Amino acid sequence: MQEHINYIVQRIESLNPLHGKKIKKNMTFFDEAYEITFSGFLKKYITYLETENKTLDYAIDCYLSMIADMNVEAVDFFRTGKYSSSTFQEVNDRVYAKPGIMEYYMHGLIMSQFLWKHHYQLFSSYIEQLPNYASKIGSYLEIGAGHGLYLSRSLEILNNETTFVVVDISPTSIDLAKRFTDSDRVNFHLMDVFDFSIETKFDFITMGEVLEHVEEPLKLLTKLNDLLNEDGTVFITTPTNAPTIDHLYLFNNVTEIQALIRSAGFEIESEMSFLSEDVSPEKAEKFKVSTLYGAFLKKTKK
């Protein structure tokens, strides 16, 4: 594992020295728990790349293409104060319906799970806390599973009788998630979450980094509330100030996210926030540094 991580960091450094410097600094924060968390996933990922006749170099190129896109979006964001796309149709045409783009974007996101401290911190909090809910989870729904990292760990943590359903709008994401999981146990739906309807309700819903991808996040949270059992739990994550090619809805700060959650009929059971850069909270606010927010939610008692 360490050998692969070292290789990835060195290659990024040689192809993009500025970004490599940042990643190298990140690595100094990672500990033994990091190694345990990611060794299984990285092994699976490398096996997947091999079955596709792809190499780690391919994945690194994908990651750097994603970073290049993000840099362009960041310049635009600092100039306009807005994300570059504002409608679902634009993002669908530009990203979800373009397998070539979606492919490098999803591989880039996988790499970010190993390389970005805030992605690691959020994922660690999730896998630390999910076992506390496990005995009450008979049915699990994941919306926008993307590469499938959260799904694959949830399958390992939750018991064998739990039923799993995934909804994602992108064929590339569904395909990737299938390869990372014991897919016989998962019922995959390739569709827009707003078109998803089902008779049953779920005990647990995970929705990582999807809220900022829709035009009306309140409508999406309200939908989650409808899909949830009365005593069920939702885990959501979403960033503030994070310009990328497929983000539509701008949260300027965590307070805006919390207010939206409450408007959709949820109370926050526990929450976490991680800055994407190593700066003070004051500097983060001044320079609109992205914060990754995550929370476990319950329905507000009537």
Ligand X SMILES: C[S@@+](CC[C@H](N)C(=O)[O-])C[C@H]1O[C@@H](n2cnc3c(N)ncnc32)[C@H](O)[C@@H]1O
Chain residues that interact with ligand X, rule: CB under 6 A? 96, 109, 143-146, 150, 167-170, 173, 192-193, 208-210, 213-214, 237
Q: Which is nearer to ligand X, 16 or 173 (CB)?
A: 173
Q: Which is nearer to ligand X, 69 or 168 (CB)?
A: 168
Q: Minimum distance between the CB of residue 35 and ligand X, rounded to whole angstroms?
A: 20
Q: Minimum distance between the CB of residue 46 and ligand X, rounded to whole angstroms?
A: 19
Token readout for 187 is 């019922």
- The set of residues, in sequence order, having a beta carbon less than 8 Å from that of 49 and lying 6+ positions away, is 55, 56, 58, 59
Q: Minimum distance between the CB of residue 239 and ligand X, rounded to whole angstroms?
A: 10
Q: Minimum distance between the CB of residue 37 and ligand X, rounded to whole angstroms?
A: 14
Query: Do residues 247 and 212 make contact, with C-beta atoms less than 8 angstroms apart?
Result: yes
Three-state SS at 86: coil
Q: Minimum distance between the CB of residue 301 and ligand X, rounded to whole angstroms?
A: 28
Q: Which is nearer to ligand X, 137 or 167 (CB)?
A: 167
- Gap between the Cα atoms of 82 and 173, Å rounded: 26
Q: Which is nearer to ligand X, 215 or 285 (CB)?
A: 215
- Gap between the Cα atoms of 43 and 65, Å rounded: 23
- The crossing angle, in degrees rounded to 10, of helices 99-115 and 171-180 is 40
- Gap between the Cα atoms of 76 and 161, Å rounded: 48
Q: Minimum distance between the CB of residue 50 and ligand X, rounded to whole angstroms?
A: 23
Ordered alpha helix ranges (H), the chain: 2-15, 17-27, 32-51, 56-80, 88-91, 99-115, 117-133, 149-157, 171-180, 217-227, 254-263, 281-286
